[in-house]
């Protein structure tokens, strides 16, 4: 069974530029999560989707971050404009049993903002 | 709010040594507890979990017991291997089912 797929794996951009990350969850997983992982820290939740509905986006900085999950399958996380402090790893995860299910993580996208 | 505290790292051990990585938590209600592992260049993988007090999670020779009285979920392995070198994260889901992670600890195992 294929795991969570994320692309790109690495991205280097200059500050003020836009950037987008893509995630394809495990087939059949209705719940999708985006996490931010700073260096030396554990992941922190940005947003959680149940199917195509964002049910927990309280930690998403909405002035520059946006996310969508059209058709309730794959998802895109966007930053516009990027700032130096956005340099981090962006992780996507999915789960089968809603918010109580075990979360399976993708390899992440490492973003460097210059 | 919920929080997870892991012992400070990094940890360096010789192959076949005994491993303990401490984890304590603060949460309301009855959280589920997890250990995730991140091997170099790879994503987070679930190592083991426990969903209620006194449960023992185990996988790949690793074990952790959910201790409600001490609010702990320490990870142990009797004999580590070089291939166990990775970053280990303790985590919990509380009443809101949000996954809260500790800072992680890097384990290096020498041959």
d(CA A28, CA A94): 10
Cα–Cα dist B106/B85, whole Å:
8
Of B43, B91, B96, the CB nearest to A106: B43
Give percent above pLDDT 70 in chain B: 97
Residues of B in CB contact (< 8 Å) with A are 4, 32, 34, 36, 41-46, 49, 89, 91, 93, 96-104
CB contact under 8 A, B104 and A42: yes
pLDDT at B95 > cutoff 80:
no
The predicted structure's pLDDT at residue B97: 66
- Residue A92: closest CA among chain B residues belongs to which residue? B43
Q: Which of A12-21, A57-66, B40-49 has the highest mean pLDDT?
A: A12-21
Chain A residues at the B interface, defined by Cβ less than 8 Å, are 3-4, 33, 40-45, 48, 56, 91, 93, 99-100, 102-108
| pLDDT for the residue B63 | 98
Q: What is the mean pLDDT of residues A8-36?
A: 95
B90's CB contacts (< 8 A; 6+ apart) are B4, B6, B21, B23, B25, B33, B34, B35, B73, B75, B101, B102
- State mean pLDDT over A12-27: 96
pLDDT digits (tens, 9 = 90+) for A44-77: 999 999 889 898 888 888 899 999 998 889 999 9
Examine the pLDDT at A101 and tell me if it is beyond 60: yes
Q: How sure is the predictor about A26, in pLDDT bands with cuts at 50, 70 and 90?
A: very high
Task: Give the pLDDT band (50/70/90) at residue A98.
Answer: low
- The answer, yes or no, to whether residue A113 has pLDDT greater than 60, is yes
Higher pLDDT, A57 or A88: A88
* DSSP letter, residue A96: S
Nearest CA to CA, how far is B31 from chain A (Å)?
Answer: 10
Structure confidence at residue A56 (pLDDT):
84
Whole-angstrom distance between the N-terminal and C-terminal Cα of chain B?
Answer: 41
Residues in B closer than 8 angstroms to A100, CB to CB, are 32, 93, 97
Q: How far apart are the first and last CA of chain A?
A: 37
Show Cβ contacts of residue A79 under 8 Å, excluding neighbours closer than 6 positions.
A18, A19, A20, A64, A65, A86, A111
Q: Higher-confidence residue: A24 or A99?
A: A24
Name the residue of chain A whose CA is nearest to B101's CA.
Answer: A42
């Amino acid at each position: 069974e294929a795991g969570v797929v994320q692309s790109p794996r690495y991205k280097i951009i200059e500050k003020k530029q836009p950037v987008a990350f893509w995630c394809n969850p495990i087939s059949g997983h209705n719940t999708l999560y985006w996490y931010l992982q700073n260096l030396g820290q554990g992941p922190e939740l940005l947003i959680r989707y149940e199917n195509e509905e964002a049910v927990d986006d309280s930690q998403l900085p909405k002035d520059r971050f946006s996310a969508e999950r059209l058709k309730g399958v794959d998802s895109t996380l966007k930053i516009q404009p990027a700032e130096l402090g956005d340099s981090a790893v962006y992780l996507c995860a999915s789960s089968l049993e809603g918010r109580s299910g075990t979360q399976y993580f993708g390899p992440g996208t490492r973003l460097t903002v210059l | 709010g919920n929080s997870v505290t892991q012992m400070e790292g990094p940890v360096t051990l010789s192959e076949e040594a005994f491993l303990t990585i401490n984890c304590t938590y603060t949460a309301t209600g009855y959280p589920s507890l997890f250990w995730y592992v991140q091997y170099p260049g790879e994503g987070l993988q679930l190592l083991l979990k426990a969903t209620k007090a006194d449960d023992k999670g185990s996988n790949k020779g690793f074990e952790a017991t959910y201790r409600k009285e001490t609010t702990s979920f320490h990870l142990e392995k009797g004999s580590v291997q070089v291939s166990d070198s990775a970053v280990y994260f303790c985590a919990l889901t509380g009443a809101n089912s949000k996954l809260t992670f500790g800072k992680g600890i890097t384990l290096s195992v020498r041959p």
